[in-house]
Amino acid sequence: MLLSLKLENKTKGKRQKQICQVVLDHFEKQYTTELGDIWTSVRDVLTYPLCWQYAILLNKFTQTAELENTLPLKGYHPAFPRSLPYLPASLKCYIRRAPGRFPAQKHQAGKLKEYYLLNAASLLPVLALEVKNGEDVLDLCAAPGGKSVAILQCAYPGNFHCNEYDDLRSRWLKKTIESFIPDPLINLIMITKMDGTQIGDLKPELYDKVLVDAPCSNDRSWLFSSDIQQATLRLIQRKKLSSLQFQLLRSAIKALRPGGSLVYSTCTLSKAENSDVINLILNSCSDVTPVDISEMAKAVSQEFAFLSGMQQHELLVLPEKGRVWGPMYVAKLKKT
């Protein structure tokens, strides 16, 4: 009997997480200015975890037929329409409108997990990257590893380099890869702990595709910081993040081959870490051009809500009731 058939929401009966008022006050001020009236409905979703939804990304390296047949009976349906510009048949992700989640499967040495639970918006950067078999791929800030796993659901890269600078997060990344990817393929994946801002100088023009899922203000988790001192420190350090993100992007561009593509993503609503960083890159790097991803956004607009008024090379997923995915910012660039 599959563990995955136990669909009761584990959060029921548990004490609900407490909002960190320091963070909420900060967000209230910033996002009311940046998003206007939209912030109120976004805030209502972000501050109420019981309404959150979780997508189920199936692992093609395990036998998931029984699970896949069961999901529609439980109200799940495919997250992405076939009309997407890029949607490999091997990438299978299911969602449902009702809140709740499957129990997460525990890591067991020598046994692959059947599925990965995630925010469905996390797959949009992977779909925007459009990795094809044989391409050399760099996941610059890869922990905890969900997007790396998703890339391998889509295609078999020629060389796949997963990098994570932080030691603790690097161990988390390694465990995720071991939990989802079989041994023969793991041997073809290079996992490193390099400084992401230096990779471009150390490995110039080596990759066809680069994903920069940058360290950012994680709006969902920051709102529930249990340590007020840590939360206050995060908010102070927040101002430095855009500088780091810019340096990571510069490094990623150097690591790209001419003609290669780069996708930048964050899980924050913050304009300073999103559009402002991309605009700075476009204004300071003459060898990159924006890539239109509006067709992808249009194709998934039934399941995802987007901020209007964005440029064609970027999108921002806004959580709303019934479609609680995000925040997720995605932008795509090409090296000329």
> Which residues carry out catalysis?
267
213 is in an annotated binding site: yes
Cα–Cα dist 127/125, whole Å: 5
Given CA atoms 241, 247, 252, 258 in this order, what sign does their dihedral have? positive
Residue 94 · residue 79 · CB < 8 Å: yes
Question: How far apart are the C-alpha atoms of 49 and 12, rounded to whole Å?
Answer: 11
Q: What is 136-173 written as a DSSP string? A: -EEETT-TT-HHHHHHHHH---SSEEEE--SHHHHHHH
145 marked ligand binding residue: yes
- Of the candidates 275, 273, 265, 252, the residue with the CA atom closest to the CA atom of residue 334: 252
Query: Is residue 14 annotated as involved in ligand binding?
Result: no
Query: Cα separations (Å) of 219 from 19, 327, 333?
Result: 12, 8, 25
Q: Which residues of 293-324 are buried (b: 16+ CB within 10 A; e: fewer)?
A: beebbebbeebbbbbeebeebbbbbbbbeebb
On whether 292 is known to bind a ligand per the annotation, the reply is: no
The four Cα atoms 92, 213, 130, 162 give a dihedral, to 10 degrees, of -90
Is 147 a known ligand-binding residue? yes
User: Quick one: tokens of 118?
Assistant: 């995630």
196 assigned to a ligand binding site: no
Q: What phi, psi does 194 have (nearest 5°)?
A: -80, 155
164 is in an annotated binding site: yes
Nearest residue to 271 (alpha-carbon basis) of 326, 305, 236, 310: 310
Consult the annotation and say whether 143 binds a ligand.
Answer: yes
Binding residues: 141-147, 164, 195, 213
Binding residues for S-adenosyl-L-methionine: 141-147, 164, 195, 213
